[in-house]
A = this chain, B = another copy of it.
Amino acid sequence: MADQISPEQTAREEDLIAQVVQSFENTPDERMKYLLQELVKHVHSYVRTVRLTEAEWNTAIEFLTRVGHATTRHRQEFVLLSDVLGVSMQTVAVNNEVYGNATEATVFGPFFVNGAPLIENGGDMSGGAPGEPAWVEGTIRGADGEPVPGARIEVWEADAEGFYDVQHEGGRVYGRAHLFADEEGEFRFWGIFPTPYAIADDGPVGDLLTATERSPYRPAHLHFMVTAPGYRTLVTHVFVRGDEHLGKATKDAVFGVKDSLIYDWSRHSADEPTPDGRDLQGKPWAGLHFDVVLAPGQAVDYAALME
Q: Which of A's residues lie within 8 Å of B, judged by CB?
A: 5-6, 8-9, 12-13, 16-17, 19-20, 23-24, 26-29, 32-36, 38-40, 42-58, 61, 64-65, 67-69, 71, 76, 78-79, 82, 85-95, 97-98, 211-214, 251, 255, 300, 302, 305-306
Of B12, B55, B78, B214, which one neighbours A93 at CB under 8 angstroms?
Answer: B12
What is the total number of copies of this protein in its complex?
Answer: 2
Q: Please, could you name 17 A-B residue pairs with CB atoms under 8 Å apart, sorted by A?
A: A6-B97, A9-B98, A12-B98, A16-B255, A20-B85, A20-B86, A23-B214, A26-B214, A35-B50, A39-B85, A48-B94, A51-B94, A57-B87, A61-B78, A64-B67, A68-B71, A68-B78
Contacts of A5 in B (CB 8 A): 97
**A43 CB contact (under 8 Å) in B24, B36, B42:** B42
Q: Determine if B91 and A19 form an interchain contact, defined as CB atoms under 8 angstroms apart.
A: no
Set of chain B residues within 8 Å of A6, measured between Cβ atoms:
97-98
Chain A: interface secondary structure? helix
A24 to B119, CA, bound (A): 42
Task: Give A91 to B51 CA distance when docked, in angstroms.
Answer: 8
- Is the beta-carbon distance between B85 and A47 smaller than 8 angstroms? no
**A-B CB proximity, top 5 nearest:** A68-B68, A20-B86, A26-B213, A42-B46, A27-B212
Give every chain B residue within 8 A of A93 (Cβ-Cβ).
Answer: 9, 12-13, 16
